């Protein structure tokens, strides 16, 4: 019985030799590709880290134009770490005063598939903060709704941003909605002093 099974297995191997060799070749090529891709990503990450340092050096010398050019190039590589850091640095130092350019940077980085979920949420929150001084409320809500409808660590910041947005516009009913949602969050670390102060102002208005 054992000889029959061995013979059948041998016959199977012989009759499917080409298919098995092809499969083995695909597996080997796949392993080589993934090793190469990972190696290239590490090289690109190292280059971006060096370029990011160079951009900061240029900033320290007040050579903002050279710094901005480097940071733009880093953003174009779609590196989930250094593209994001480059954008934040551009915003923090106001290196690009063209809002449309900055929004394009945001959209490009937000489209990176390899971003961690909370990193993506942070980028959306940062974008909302960036546009909040002039944005239509529908645009603001479109950016923030994915965070509001989740248990993101950035949910509180998003609720507060919207509450403050409507409070500053004296749309107190809407502001109260978001401030009240903050009170319902189960997060003991949140300082509710400012939220309660503004709710009191709304109540007395």
Among the candidates 62, 82, 115, a domain finishes at 115
Q: Are residues 96 and 157 in the same domain?
A: no
Q: Are residues 37 and 109 in the same domain?
A: yes
Q: What is the enclosing helix (H) or strand (E) of 205?
A: none
C-beta separation of 91 from 130 below 8 A? yes
Mean of per-residue pLDDT scores for the chain: 88
Among the candidates 86, 115, 144, a domain finishes at 115
Does residue 129 lie within any of the structural domains?
no
Q: What percent of the chain clears pLDDT 70, i.e. is strictly above it?
A: 83
Full domain range(s) for residue 144: 134-205
Q: Are residues 108 and 172 in the same domain?
A: no
- Give 83: exposed, middle or buried? Use CB within 10 Å, 0-12, 13-18, 19+: buried
pTM of full prediction above 0.85 = no
Residue for token pair 């978001």: 178
Residue 40 binned pLDDT confidence (cut-offs 50, 70, 90): low
List, for residues 143-190, the tens digit of each pLDDT value: 999 999 999 999 999 999 999 999 999 999 999 999 999 999 988 789
C-beta separation of 106 from 87 below 8 A? yes
| φ and ψ at residue 171, rounded to 5 degrees | -95, 75
Q: Are residues 144 and 77 in the same domain?
A: no
- What pLDDT is attached to residue 13? 64
Number of domains in the chain: 2
Does residue 48 lie within any of the structural domains?
yes
Q: Are residues 13 and 50 in the same domain?
A: yes
- What pLDDT is attached to residue 198? 95
> How many C-beta atoms surround the C-beta of residue 198 within 10 A?
18
SS3 at position 75: helix
Does residue 125 lie within any of the structural domains?
no
Does residue 13 lie within any of the structural domains?
yes
Q: Are residues 10 and 109 in the same domain?
A: yes
Q: Are residues 28 and 94 in the same domain?
A: yes
């Amino acid at each position: 019985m054992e000889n029959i099974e061995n013979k059948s297995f041998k016959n199977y191997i012989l009759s499917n030799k080409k298919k098995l060799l092809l499969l083995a070749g695909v597996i080997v090529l796949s392993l080589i590709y993934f090793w190469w891709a990972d190696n290239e990503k590490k090289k690109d990450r190292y280059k971006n880290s060096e370029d990011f340092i160079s951009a900061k050096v240029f900033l320290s010398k007040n050579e903002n134009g050279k710094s901005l050019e480097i940071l733009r190039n880093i953003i174009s590589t779609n590196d989930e770490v250094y593209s994001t850091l480059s954008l934040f640095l551009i915003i923090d130092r106001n290196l690009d005063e063209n809002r449309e350019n900055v929004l394009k940077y945001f959209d490009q980085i937000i489209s990176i598939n390899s971003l961690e979920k909370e990193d993506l949420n942070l980028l959306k929150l940062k974008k909302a903060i960036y546009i909040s001084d002039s944005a239509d409320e529908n645009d603001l809500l479109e950016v923030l709704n994915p965070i509001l409808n989740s248990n993101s660590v950035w949910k509180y910041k998003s609720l507060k941003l919207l509450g403050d947005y409507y409070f500053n516009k004296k749309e107190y009913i809407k502001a109260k909605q978001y401030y009240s949602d903050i009170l319902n969050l189960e997060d003991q670390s949140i300082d509710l002093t400012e939220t309660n102060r503004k709710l009191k102002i709304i109540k007395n208005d």
